[in-house]
Structures are given as C-alpha cells and as structure tokens.
C-alpha cells in the first residue's frame, strides 16, 4: 500500500518537471508526425489553391504576440503556398500592434524564396508579386472601402510608396479582383469580414483562429460563410501537411514540429488523470 | 453593316427594372436601389450607380460587383432623387431607365427589433408580477442548491482555524451581472466575518468594483453592529491587468494561507491559475461564474461550483429577500416559456411550410 | 437624497440606454453616441486614475509601515513612474518631447510593451499548461458519474485532436468533432438561456431600484 | 548554441524565467517580476488613457478649444475623488449611478437578442436546421439530440420544483449534456494552453539560447 500513498502525495513540482521534460525533449530532437488533414483545412487549401491567375489572395495578419504560437505558422504556410503558386498576394493588418508580426513573417518567407531563385521571373518582387498594404484604422474603413477601390483606402503602403504607382495595384482594383481573403485572428475580425465584406461584395472568406475561440466559428464554417477554417496549432500543422504533400514545399514546419511535444504533453496529462484517480479510488476504498 | 454588327457586339445589355425606395426601419439618410442583372452580367466588371436631384445631370455615387442586384446609397433626408444603374465592362457602359422619384426619411420604430421588446415586456411583466407578490409576503418555494450550504460551512471552517477568508470578485466590470451577484454574496460573507471576527481579504482589479465593494463590506460590518471592526485595507485595488492580478492573488494565497477561497464573479483564462494555486494551498474553494468557458476548470478544481444561473440564485438564497426570490420565480417561468416556444415552433417548423425561423431573427 | 438621486440617475440612464436599440431616429442615435463617446469614456478614465490612487496609497502605506515585502512596493512604484514618464512624455510612438532611445538602444513605450509587458503576460499564459497538468493530477477526480462523463469526453477530444488519435482509429477525430458540435452546444446553450434570463432580470431590478447593492447598501430594501 | 545579442531579448527571457520560477516556489525573483509587471502594465495604461482618452476627449475640447459643455463630464469625473472625503463620500454614487445605469440598460436588448432569440432560432426543429449540419439525413438525429439536450439542461436550472420524478430524470440527463460539454471544452483548451507553452519555449530555446533552429 506504500506506493499508493506515495503516488497520492507526488509533489506539484515533480509534475511540472515531468511536463517540462516531455515538452522540451521533442523540441530539441524534432521529428515531424504524419498529420491527417480534416475537411475544414482541406477546403481552405483548395480555396487558396483555386485563386485564379488574374486575381489576388489577401491575408489579414491580426494576431498578437500572445496568440502568435498558434496563428504565426498559419501565416507562414499561407505565404509559402501563395508564392509557390505565383498567386498575387496583398497583406494587411486591422490593428497597429499586429503590423510588426506581419512584417516579420513576410520578410522571412520572401528571403526563403529569393535566396533560391536564379532568374528575375521566379523571384518574389515587391510591387509585382506582392504588396504590403499596412494599417488604416478603424477596421470598418478597409473592410468596406476595399469593395470599391483598394488604392483609395490604402493610398500609401506600409513602406510609404504610393500604391497607385505599383504595377500589381493596377490589376487588383477591388474585391472583384480578389479570389479569397484569409483572416488570421484570435478574436472577432473573421466575423467582421463575413458580416460586412462578404454580405455586400460576395468576397470569399477563409479563417485561421485560436483553439480557445474555435466553437464559435464552427457555425460559420457549417453554413458555408467560411470557405475553410484552421483551428489552433493542429490546424496550422494540417495546412503545412497539405502544402508539403500537394506542392512539395520543403520548408520548416513550425506547427508540425510542435505536434510531438503536444502529443506527449496530452498523453502525460491523461496519465496524470488516471494515476490521480487510481490513488483517489484506493483511498476511498480504504476509508 | 459591320458598324451595326460591331455596335451590337460591343453594346452591353443594361440592367432592367430599376426600383428605389427609402430604407425602412432606419434613422433616414439611406435609399435602397434594386435592379435585375443585365444579360451580359458574366462579362461585366460590375454596376455603377448614378444619382440626380434635378432629373438632368447624374453623378456616380456607388459601385458594386457583378451578380449583385441591390445596393444602399447614403442620401440627405427630404431631397427628391432619381437613380440610374449602369452595367460596366472596362470602359463600355450601358445605362438603365431612371427610377421613379424617391426621398429618404428617418423612422421612429425599427420593426425588426419589435420581437425583442415584446419578449422584454412579457418577461419583465412576469418578473414584476412575482416581485409584487413577494412584497405581499407570499411564500415562494426555491429548491436548495448544494453549493450554497457550503458557503456557511466554509466560513465556519475558516473561523475554527482562525485563518483569513479570501474573496476574489472576478475580473469583471461593475455592470457585469456576475460581478453584481458576487458583490451580493460578498456582503453576506462580510457579515459573517464581522460576527466571527474572521480576517477578510478582498483584492480588486477594477477601480469601480473596488469602490462599490468597499461600501458593501463597510455596510455589512455596520449592519452587524461592528463598524469598528471594519479594516479599510481589507478591500484594496491591485492592478487593472488580468495576469498581474492573477499573479498577485496567487501570492496572497501562498503567503496568507487563507482557509477558504471564494472565486465568485466574472472570470477568464486566469480562473485556472487561481483555482489550482488555491487547491494546492489546501483551502476549501467555492467558485461561481456565468462564464461557461471557465466552468470546466472550476468544476474540476473546486469543492463547490455555482454553474451559470445558480450564481444568481445564490445571491437570492443568501439574502432570503422576497424581491430577489420573486425574480428567480419569474426566471423559472421564463424557462417554461422558452421550452414551450421551442416545442410549438418545432411542431410548426416540421408540419407546415411557414418560415418560423424568420420570427427569431 | 443620498439614495433617491443616484437611484433616479440609474433609472433615467438605464431607460435612455434601451431606446437607441429600437428607435433608429438620428435624434436618439446621436445623443446616445454623444453620451457614450464623451461622458462615459471620460468617466472610465477618471475611474482608472482613482484606482491608481488607491494602488499607490496601498503600496506607499506598505513602505511607510515597513509591512512584509515592502521593498517590492518600491519596485512597483519606480517601474510605474518610469514607464509613465516614458509613455506620457515620450509619446505613444516615440513622438513626444522626451527622447526615447540612446544610440541604437530604443526604450519607447511600444518597445517596453513588446519586451516587458508581453513576455510577462505570455509566460503567465504558458504557465497555465503546468497548472493544467497539476490540476489534472490533483483535481480531476471521477467523484461522480457526471465527473466521469467529463473525463471521458475530455479524453476523447484530447486524443481525437492528435495524429496519434487518428492512428488509433480513423473514427476518433470525427467523433471528437461531433462531441464539439452536438452535445457540447446543447449543454452550453441550456446554460446560456438561464444566464441570459437571470441577467435581464437583474438589469431590470437595478434600473427600477429594486437591486441596490451597487449603492453599497448590501441590497434589500 | 548561438546566444542572442539583442539586450531586449535577454530582458524578455530573464523576465520569463522569473515568472516561471513561481512554479518552483514564490520567490524574490518572481515577486520582483510580479511588481515590475504591475508597475509597467499600469504605466502603459496611464499612457494610453492620457494620450488616447483624456487629452483628445476632454482636455483639448475643454481647455484648448474652450467648449464649455465639457465642464459637465469634467465635474462628474471629479466626483470620483469624493471617496477620499468621508463627509461628502456619497457623491461618489452619482458617477457610478450614471455608469451602471447606462451599461445595464444597454445590456437588456443585447442579451435578449444574442443569447435568447438567436439561440432559440438555432434549436428549433425545422428542415432548414436539419440541413445546416450538412450531414444528410443524420442531420435530423443531430438536431433532435440538440433539441432534447437543450430542454433537459434547461430543466436542470429549474428552481421552482424539487428535482424528483420526471423533472429529476430530465435534470440528470441535463447534467450529462453539461458535463460532456465541459469535458469537450476542456480537451480543446488543453491543446491551446500547451501550444502557448511550446511557443514560449520556442522563444527561450530558439531566439534566446539558440539551441533549437
């Protein structure tokens, strides 16, 4: 009976230590687990993939540092997908704090593609292949304004160039020239894009959200308002799986690398539950 | 011949049946324009909306993507307007016939919101009916909620052990109903602390809730006849940030080692930090919140949890105040009505073709 | 006077706040917006200044009376003063009169936010995983049939979300998804009805002066 | 192992470790970090309340542009400070009364529409709701289970009658739905929290220590 008593009184810090080890080890020796892609992410992949040549993909980077672990890998995967398919990309944020993270994701992926490109045609060039529009407050102005003219809303882009001088902006005038908009956010922006932009201009909307706020968004996916949905780090890993499988993109899969530690963490928590209950039942029977 | 052919080739079919009317149920300043899409809709860029207030010169006021058949235009009230819609493909345009004259004006009632106010008057009426009877002293039966018995035992436990009671009112603002219910329960717990001279610790995150709580606790001490025992610093403000507050309260749980923790009110992600640290410090914990996302953590880590509405019933039970009990009875009737509506609407929804869902926009 | 006038204010402002919901007329809508953007926004700012007053008072008292851990109150007050000076005089994006960088080392309010407030805040979120683990070990007991149900549903979802779950059986992920869509929504919607009815009832009682706990009277007559 | 050279990364990392040290036990490093957080967070709040609220919404219009109408919010705001003067302390109830009255009044229609009427709309058994599951004829079964679950959960929160007989049965079924819902939500939240821990460790092991890529 001694083990049971000891089990019942494991010190809290040992539990923390076990969790820490179980999470850190798979991070130091990364391995990528095969991921089964569920329908919501598959639909989003095909929606991004089917953006016509002459149209653009807009990515709305609206995650804060605190929700970056779940949403940043989605941003990287979407950018790699679009640039590999040479889809035209516009990037924007609805809030000022998010600009820094959008800029960080953009520069890293561009560098990844341009370091490998030989000729001018297959490298990613600002103004021709993508434009970083930046931020115009309050959010309702870009959401509705881009329906008629994007250059009227964003007269100047993030870097300060006049947008009407950029070649890409001559082709992409408004939502008619936008195949799909994907909003990455931990709060309400995806709802706004449906309520305002989709209702009035028929804009196709996809979303990448945090796991905690997932249940609310499933109803919009069910009604078809969302053309696809990624939820949490697992959703990001599924998208990384799709771009590797369909487009043979061999870049670092941050979210997929997080799956092993995530799996072991879940297993450890489940084992703790079982042990905790065994010692609990033993004690109850003893009484 | 070729010219006509070319013209025929390039001339677009204009949109037809253009109709314009004042947007109903709004504050004025808006007119809705509707039309049938042109036969060449597939190759169009979209439709341009033209407006004139003298019937002669039209100026462009709007644009919308192809395949759409309606748009809302912002106007000045009391001015007569005429509208034309043009199908546009690159630089070629085809104008429709002008619409009839139309004027926009504000309405005083938004008919879409009537169902909300009907529900409010019915439900409000029931609540007031029961409160009226409660004031008349009518006996109103309310079943016993397990969590409430625990509040008395928990305060008793802290008194026996001579240890303080920690009352965490959640991180909600003063207007959150959970916060107000929590202040009600704080009032009762403070009365018991005054009677048994148990130390009360009541840290706050919101300056307004803090000021109200101070008054509530002071009033409770005077009600029990112990205004002198009230320690003004037992109720204090820490910070207005969620996690600084959680860290500070954790610090209190570990340092002051209260025998009983009350975690009652509006909570977010910090609820698990508080509940877990309290559990590991070995305190009896009573939780209560209407934040459904936090209930799983409270249910697992606390001894008693008031789930959602039980929190409101708790403040009524503690005060044994007929007015509050009257409200609870009214809410029970509200649930009966919701159940009846669900049953009736489902029967109508299945058997008949009536679009029952539109009644509940 | 001390009670009736505040209760009268609650009645007037309570009813006035209801009207814009059903009356679209600009007269009501504009006054509502004017009231919100000017009066209420300013009151919230004054309330914060008041709260800070009491925070600083508590910590200055701690220092004066040398109560336990008083040294940390110095840390709090100094950090508060330094951050406020940098923020108030340095401007929101470093455009104020105070210089906000020495050579290449920036210290404007945004940099402080990204490198002090955010790491502290997100580490607190990260710690939740540890508290989750020890709560799972210590608190997660199959005390009753309901608690066992909660455990089972939790296990199914925690497994269904992982690639491992899919390897155990392809039906597991879809079953986990079904649990989120049907029983989870049913349970949460039932609770939500009760909470909403309770909230509306309490709001009505406050406006009509039946619920007076906010006055500090501890409710009742 | 390529240590970061940016001083701010070091500051962020050391603060993170100080907060994590709370896991071991409440210690001076944690308490310093806790108090720095409270000080910096309130300093940040003061900055934005001043620059984005008080100056543009009150001081500019009142003192710079002389719009005397702003005397009213200014005076009512000052009443907050009567809390420090016991004799006229009751004046504090005026700003609080206005504040509570407005917010509580505005919450009534919002709560009724969002949490009662829209939820009823989603629960009613109609062909439209059956189809919304996009699961073919299974949709009918899902809608019926949802319908029964909502009614049973409602019966759990019925306070006017003892939970015996039929009401006893429905409320027990109700608790089953509630507990399944809590378990499912818990599972999703575990994934979210562990992801945040992995994110922080990626910062510490990656950006700071450079152990992982």
Q: What share of chain D is helix, strand, coil (3-state, %, to 5)?
A: 85, 0, 15
- Lowest-confidence range among B51-55, B293-297, C200-204? B293-297
Q: Which residue segment(s) compose the domain that A162 sits in?
A: 34-252
Q: Are residues A281 and A238 in the same domain?
A: no
A214-222 and C171-181 helices, crossing angle to 10°: 100
Question: How close, in Å, is residue A200 to chain B by CA atoms?
Answer: 8
Beta-carbon contacts of C163 under 8 Å, excluding residues fewer than 6 positions away, are A33, A34, A35, A36, A259, A263
Closest CA to C127 of A233, D35, D24, A68: D24
Q: Is the peptide bond before A138 cis (omega within 30 degrees of 0)?
A: yes
pLDDT of residue A187: 79
> φ and ψ at A109, to 5 degrees?
-70, -40
- For residue C36, which of B126, D57, D3, A136 has the smallest C-alpha distance? D57
Q: Kindly report the nearest CA distance between residue C17 and chain A, in angstroms.
A: 24
Decide: residue B57, CB within 10 A, 0-12 exposed, 13-18 middle, 19+ buried.
exposed
Per-residue CA distances from B208 to A62, C44, C167 (Å): 31, 9, 53
Does residue B67 lie in a domain region?
yes
Same domain, B242 and B216: yes
How far does CA D82 lie from the centroid of its chain? Answer: 30
Q: What is the pLDDT of residue A181?
A: 96
Question: In which band, very low, low, confident or very high, does the pLDDT at C221 lie, cut at 50, 70 and 90?
Answer: very low
pLDDT tier at D187 (50, 70, 90 boundaries)? Answer: confident
Tell whether the model's pLDDT for residue B7 goes beyond 60. no
List chain B residues with CB under 8 Å of C204: 124, 127-128
Q: Which residue has the higher pLDDT, B267 or C195?
A: B267
Contact assessment for residue B222 and residue B353, using Cβ atoms and an 8 Å cutoff:
no
Q: What is the mean pLDDT of each run of 10 residues along chain A (287 residues)?
A: 67 88 90 80 94 93 84 94 93 79 87 86 88 78 79 80 89 90 89 76 89 70 80 91 88 85 92 83 75
Say what angle helices C171-181 and D165-201 make with each other, to 10 degrees: 120
Would you say residue B8 has pLDDT above 60?
Answer: no
Residue D89 lies in a domain: no
3-state secondary structure C111-133: HHHHHHHHHHHHHHHHHHHHHHH
Residue B135 domain flag: no
CA atoms within 13 A on the CB side of A35: 30
- Mean pLDDT for chain C overall: 81
Q: How confident is the model at residue B196 (pLDDT cuts 50, 70, 90)?
A: confident
Query: For A111, how many CA atoms within 13 A lie in the half-sphere containing its CB?
Result: 6
Q: Do B349 and D124 touch (CB under 8 A)?
A: yes
What is the domain count for chain A?
2
Tokens (6 digits) for D33 = 């970090």
Q: Within this chain, do residues A41 and A74 fall inside the same structural domain, yes or no?
A: yes
Q: Which of C125, C135, C200 sits opposite B123 (nearest CB)?
A: C200
Q: In chain D, which residue's Cα lies nearest the Cα of A67?
A: D196
Interatomic CA distance for residues B60 and B48, integer angstroms: 7
D96 located within any domain: no
With a cut of 80, say whether residue C121 has pLDDT above it: no
In a domain, B315, yes or no: yes
The pLDDT value given to residue C198: 82
pLDDT for residue A223: 63
CATH of the domain at A204: 3.40.50
Domain CATH code at residue B270:
3.40.50
B vs D, Cβ pairs < 8 A, gives 144
In whole angstroms, what is the distance from residue C130 CA to residue B273 CA? Answer: 10
Q: Which chains touch D (3 or more CB pairs under 8 A)?
A: A, B, C
Q: Is residue D58 part of a domain?
A: no
Q: Are C43 and C51 in contact (CB under 8 A)?
A: no
Question: Is residue D209 included in any domain, yes or no?
Answer: yes
Task: Kindly state the average pLDDT of the residues B345-361.
Answer: 85
CB contact under 8 A, B63 and A148: yes
Give the C-alpha separation, C213 to B215, whole Å.
9
Residue D59 lies in a domain: no
Check residue B66 and give its pLDDT.
Answer: 82
Q: What is the DSSP letter of B197?
A: T
Same domain for B303 and B354, yes or no, is no
Q: Which two tokens stand for residue C89?
A: 């005089």
Q: Are A132 and A91 in contact (CB under 8 A)?
A: yes
Q: Which chain A residues have a beta carbon less than 8 Å from that of C156?
A: none
What residues in C contact D74, CB-CB < 8 Å?
Answer: 42
Q: Where exactly are the structural domains of chain C?
A: 1-61, 68-140
Residue pair B234/B211 in contact by the 8 Å Cβ criterion = no
Q: What is the number of domains present in chain B?
A: 3
* Cβ neighbourhood burial of C37 (10 Å; 0-12, 13-18, 19+): exposed
**pTM of whole model > 0.90?**
no
Residues A216 and A181 in one domain: yes
Paired tokens of B338: 């919701």
**What CATH code is carried by the domain that includes residue B69?**
2.60.40.10
How far C117 CA sits from the closest chain A CA (Å)? 11
Q: Does B296 touch chain A (CB under 8 A)?
A: no
Chain C residues near residue A277 by CB distance under 8 angstroms? 140-142, 151
Contacts with D19 from chain B: Cβ below 8 Å = 247
For position C217, what pLDDT does the model report? 34
Q: Are B201 and B167 in contact (CB under 8 A)?
A: yes
**CB atoms C194 and B308 under 8 Å:** yes
Number of residues that this document lists for chain D: 213
- The yes-or-no verdict on residue C220 having pLDDT over 50 is no
pLDDT tens for each residue of D113-154: 777 887 888 889 988 888 877 778 888 999 999 999 999 999
Q: Which residue has the higher pLDDT, D52 or C173?
A: C173
Residue-wise pLDDT for D67-119, tens only, equals 888 898 899 988 888 877 888 878 888 888 888 888 788 888 878 877 788 78
Between D49 and D60, residue with greater pLDDT: D60
Judge if A116 and A248 occupy the same domain.
yes
pLDDT of the residue at A208: 95
CB–CB contact C163 A259 (8 Å): yes
Give the pLDDT of residue D84.
75
For residue B134, being part of any structural domain is answered with no
DSSP for D88-108 reads GGGGGHHHHHHHHHHHHHHHH
Mean pLDDT of B269-287: 82
With beta carbons under 8 A apart, name residues in chain A contacting D199.
68-70
Give the confidence band of B37 by pLDDT, cuts at 50, 70, 90.
Answer: confident
Q: For residue C12, name the pLDDT band (cuts at 50, 70, 90).
A: very high
Q: What is the pLDDT of residue B2?
A: 47
pLDDT for res D111:
80
The pLDDT of residue B292 is above 50 = yes
Residues A236 and A265 in one domain: no
Asked if A36's CB is within 8 angstroms of C138's CB, the reply is: no
Mean pLDDT of B203-212: 86
pLDDT at B355 over 80: yes
Nearest to B360 among D121, D158, D178 (CB): D121
What are the distances in angstroms from CA B230 to CA A138, B114, D181?
48, 49, 43
Question: Could you tell me if residue D108 is inside a domain?
Answer: no
D118 touches chain C (CB under 8 A): no
Min distance B360 CA to chain C CA atoms (Å): 15
Same domain as A185, residue A104: yes
Instruction: Tell me how far apart the alpha carbons of residues C210 and C197 are, in angstroms, rounded to a whole number.
Output: 17
Residues in chain D with CB shorter than 8 Å from the CB of B342 are 120, 123-124, 147, 150-151
Domain-embedded: residue B206: yes
> Is B3 domain-assigned?
no
Within 8 A of C180 by CB-CB distance, chain A residues are 214-215, 218
Average pLDDT over residues C4-10: 91
The stretches of B136-176 forming alpha helices (DSSP H) are 146-161
Position D14 in a domain:
no
pLDDT at position C218: 29
How distant is the Cα of B63 from the closest Cα of chain A, in angstroms?
6
Residue B7 maps to a domain: no
Would you say D145 and D125 are in contact if contact means Cβ atoms under 8 Å apart? no
pLDDT for the residue numbered A40: 87
Give the range of the structural domain holding residue D143, as residue numbers without chain letter: 125-213
Residue C219 has pLDDT above 60, yes or no: no
In angstroms, the CA C111 to CA B113 distance is 46
pLDDT above 90 as % of chain B? 25
Cβ of residue B349 closer than 8 Å to a chain D Cβ: yes
Q: With left for phi above 0 and alpha for psi between -120 and 50, is residue B63 left, alpha or beta?
A: beta
Backbone angles phi, psi at A160, to 5 degrees: 100, 0
Which range of residues forms the domain containing residue B45?
Answer: 12-103
D41 pLDDT tier (thresholds 50, 70, 90): confident
The partner residue sitting opposite B65, judged by closest CB among A12, A202, A212, is A202
* Cα–Cα distance for residue pair C11/C3, rounded to 1 Å: 13
Residue B94 has pLDDT above 50, yes or no: yes
Q: Which residues of chain A have a CB within 8 Å of the CB of C133? A: 15-16, 18-19, 265, 268-269, 272
Q: What are the strands, taking DSSP E only, across chain A?
A: 56-62, 88-92, 130-134, 178-185, 205-209, 226-231
* The residue to which tokens 């990384």 are assigned: A240
Alpha helices in A167-231 (DSSP H): 167-171, 189-192, 199-201, 214-222
**pLDDT grade, residue D65 (50/70/90)?**
confident
Name beta bridge partners: A206.
A182
Distance (Å, whole) CA D202 – CA C48: 36
**Do B161 and B47 reside in the same domain of the chain?**
no
In a domain, B131, yes or no: no
User: Structural domain tally of chain D?
Assistant: 1
| Percentage with pLDDT > 90 across chain C | 10
Measured between CA atoms, the residue of chain B closest to residue A216 is B293
Strand, coil or helix: B38: coil
In chain C, which residues have their Cβ closer than 8 Å to the Cβ of D77?
Answer: 42-43, 45-46
| Contact of A172 with A119, CB cutoff 8 Å | no
What span, in angstroms and rounded, lies between the C-alpha atoms of B8 and B4?
6
**Interface membership of D90 toward C (CB under 8 Å):** yes
Same domain, A129 and A270: no
Q: How far is D132 from chain A (nearest CA, A)?
A: 6
Tell whether B316 and B331 lie within a shared domain. no
pLDDT exceeds cutoff 70 at C216:
no
B229-234, Cβ contacts within 8 angstroms, sequence gap of 24 or more: B229/B194, B229/B197, B230/B194, B231/B199, B231/B200, B233/C58, B233/C61, B234/B199, B234/B200, B234/B201, B234/B202
């Amino acid at each position: 009976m001694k083990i049971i008593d000891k089990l019942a009184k494991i010190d809290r810090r040992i539990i923390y230590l076990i969790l820490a080890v179980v999470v850190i080890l798979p991070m130091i020796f990364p391995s990528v687990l095969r991921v089964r892609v569920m329908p919501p992410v598959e639909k989003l992949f095909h929606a991004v993939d089917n953006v016509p040549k002459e149209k653009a993909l807009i990515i709305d980077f609206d995650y804060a540092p605190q929700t970056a672990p779940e949403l940043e890998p989605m941003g990287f995967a979407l950018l790699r997908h679009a640039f590999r398919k040479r889809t035209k990309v516009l990037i924007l944020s609805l809030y000022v704090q998010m600009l820094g993270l959008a800029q960080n994701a953009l520069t890293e992926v561009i560098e990844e593609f341009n370091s490998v490109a030989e000729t001018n045609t297959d490298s990613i060039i600002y103004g021709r292949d993508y434009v970083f529009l930046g931020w115009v407050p309050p959010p309702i102005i870009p959401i509705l304004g881009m329906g008629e003219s994007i250059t009227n809303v964003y007269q100047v882009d993030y870097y300060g160039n006049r947008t009407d001088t950029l070649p890409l902006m001559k082709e992409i005038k408004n939502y008619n020239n936008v195949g799909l908009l994907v909003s990455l956010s931990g709060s309400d922006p995806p709802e706004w894009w449906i309520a305002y932009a989709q209702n009035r201009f028929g804009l196709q909307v996809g979303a990448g959200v945090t796991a905690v706020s997932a249940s609310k968004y499933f109803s919009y996916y069910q009604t078809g308002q969302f053309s696809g949905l990624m939820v949490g780090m697992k959703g990001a890993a599924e998208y990384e799986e799709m771009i590797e499988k369909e487009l043979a993109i061999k870049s670092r899969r941050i979210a997929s690398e997080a799956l092993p530690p995530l799996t072991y963490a879940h297993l450890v928590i489940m084992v703790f539950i079982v042990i905790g209950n065994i010692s609990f039942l033993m004690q109850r029977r003893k009484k | 011949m070729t010219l006509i052919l070319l013209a025929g080739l390039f001339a677009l079919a204009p949109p037809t049946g253009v109709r314009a009317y004042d947007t109903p149920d709004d504050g004025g300043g808006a007119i809705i324009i509707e039309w049938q899409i042109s036969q060449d809709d597939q190759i169009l860029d979209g439709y341009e909306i033209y407006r004139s207030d003298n019937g002669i010169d039209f100026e462009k006021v709007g644009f919308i993507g192809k395949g759409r058949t309606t748009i809302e235009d912002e106007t000045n009230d009391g001015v007569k307007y005429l509208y034309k819609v043009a199908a546009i493909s690159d630089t070629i345009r085809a104008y429709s016939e002008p619409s009839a004259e139309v004027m926009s004006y504000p309405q005083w009632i938004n008919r879409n919101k009537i169902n909300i106010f009907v529900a409010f008057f019915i439900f409000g009426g029931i609540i007031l009916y029961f409160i009226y009877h409660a004031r008349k002293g009518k006996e109103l039966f309310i079943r016993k909620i397990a969590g409430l018995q625990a509040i008395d035992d928990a305060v008793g436990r802290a008194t026996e052990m001579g240890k303080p009671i920690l009352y965490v009112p959640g991180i909600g603002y003063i207007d959150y109903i959970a916060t107000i219910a929590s202040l009600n329960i704080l009032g009762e717990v403070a009365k018991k602390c005054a009677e048994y001279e148990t130390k009360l610790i009541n840290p706050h995150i919101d300056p307004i809730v803090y000021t109200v709580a101070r008054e509530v606790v002071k009033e409770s001490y005077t009600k029990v006849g112990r205004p002198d025992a009230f320690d003004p610093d037992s109720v204090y403000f820490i910070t207005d940030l969620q996690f600084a507050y959680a860290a500070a309260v954790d610090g209190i749980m570990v340092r002051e080692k209260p025998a009983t923790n009350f975690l009652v009110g509006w909570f977010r992600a910090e609820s698990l930090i508080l509940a877990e640290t309290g559990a590991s410090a070995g305190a009896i914990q009573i939780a209560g919140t209407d934040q459904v996302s936090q209930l799983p953590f409270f249910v697992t880590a606390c001894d008693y949890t008031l789930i959602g509405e039980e929190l409101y019933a708790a403040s009524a039970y503690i005060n044994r105040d007929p007015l509050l009990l009257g409200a609870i009875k009214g809410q029970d009737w509200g649930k009966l009505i919701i159940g009846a509506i669900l049953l009736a609407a489902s029967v109508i929804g299945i058997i008949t073709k009536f679009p029952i869902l539109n009644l509940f926009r | 006077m001390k009670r009736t006038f505040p209760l009268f204010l609650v009645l007037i402002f309570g009813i006035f706040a209801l009207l814009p919901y059903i009356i679209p007329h600009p007269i009501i809508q504009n006054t509502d917006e004017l009231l919100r953007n000017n009066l209420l926004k300013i009151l919230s700012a004054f309330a914060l200044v008041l709260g800070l007053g009491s925070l600083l008072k508590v910590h200055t008292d701690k220092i004066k009376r040398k109560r336990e851990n008083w040294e940390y109150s110095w840390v709090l007050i100094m950090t508060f003063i330094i951050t406020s000076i940098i923020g108030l005089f340095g401007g929101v994006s470093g455009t104020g009169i105070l210089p906000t960088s020495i050579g290449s080392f920036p210290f404007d309010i945004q940099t402080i936010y990204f490198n002090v407030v955010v790491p502290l805040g997100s580490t607190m979120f990260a710690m939740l995983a540890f508290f989750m683990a020890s709560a799972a070990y210590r608190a997660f007991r199959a005390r009753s049939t309901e608690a066992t149900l909660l455990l089972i549903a939790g296990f199914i979802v925690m497994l269904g979300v992982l690639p491992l779950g899919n390897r155990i059986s392809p039906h597991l992920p879809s079953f986990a998804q079904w649990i989120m869509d049907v029983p989870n929504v049913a349970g949460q919607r039932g609770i939500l009805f009760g909470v909403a009815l309770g909230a509306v009832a309490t709001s009505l009682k406050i406006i009509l002066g039946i619920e007076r706990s906010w006055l500090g009277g501890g409710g009742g007559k | 192992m390529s240590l970061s050279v940016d001083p701010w990364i070091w500051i962020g990392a050391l603060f993170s470790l100080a907060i994590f040290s709370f896991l071991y036990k409440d210690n001076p490093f944690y308490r310093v970090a806790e108090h720095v957080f409270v000080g910096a967070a309130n300093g940040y709040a003061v900055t934005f309340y001043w620059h984005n609220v008080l100056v543009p919404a009150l001081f500019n219009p009142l003192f710079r542009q002389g719009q005397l109408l702003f005397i009213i919010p200014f005076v009512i705001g000052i009443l907050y400070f009567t809390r420090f003067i016991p004799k006229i302390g009751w004046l504090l109830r005026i700003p609080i009364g206005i504040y509570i009255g407005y917010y509580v009044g505005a919450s009534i229609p919002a709560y009724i529409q969002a949490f009662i009427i829209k939820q009823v709309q989603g629960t009613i058994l109609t062909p439209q709701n059956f189809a919304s599951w996009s699961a073919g004829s299974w949709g009918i079964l899902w809608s019926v289970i949802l319908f029964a679950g909502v009614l049973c959960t409602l019966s759990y929160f019925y306070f006017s009658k003892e939970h015996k007989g039929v009401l006893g049965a429905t409320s027990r079924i109700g608790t089953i739905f509630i507990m399944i819902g809590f378990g499912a939500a818990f599972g999703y939240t575990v994934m979210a929290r562990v992801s945040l821990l992995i994110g922080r460790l990626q910062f510490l092991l990656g950006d700071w220590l450079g152990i992982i890529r």
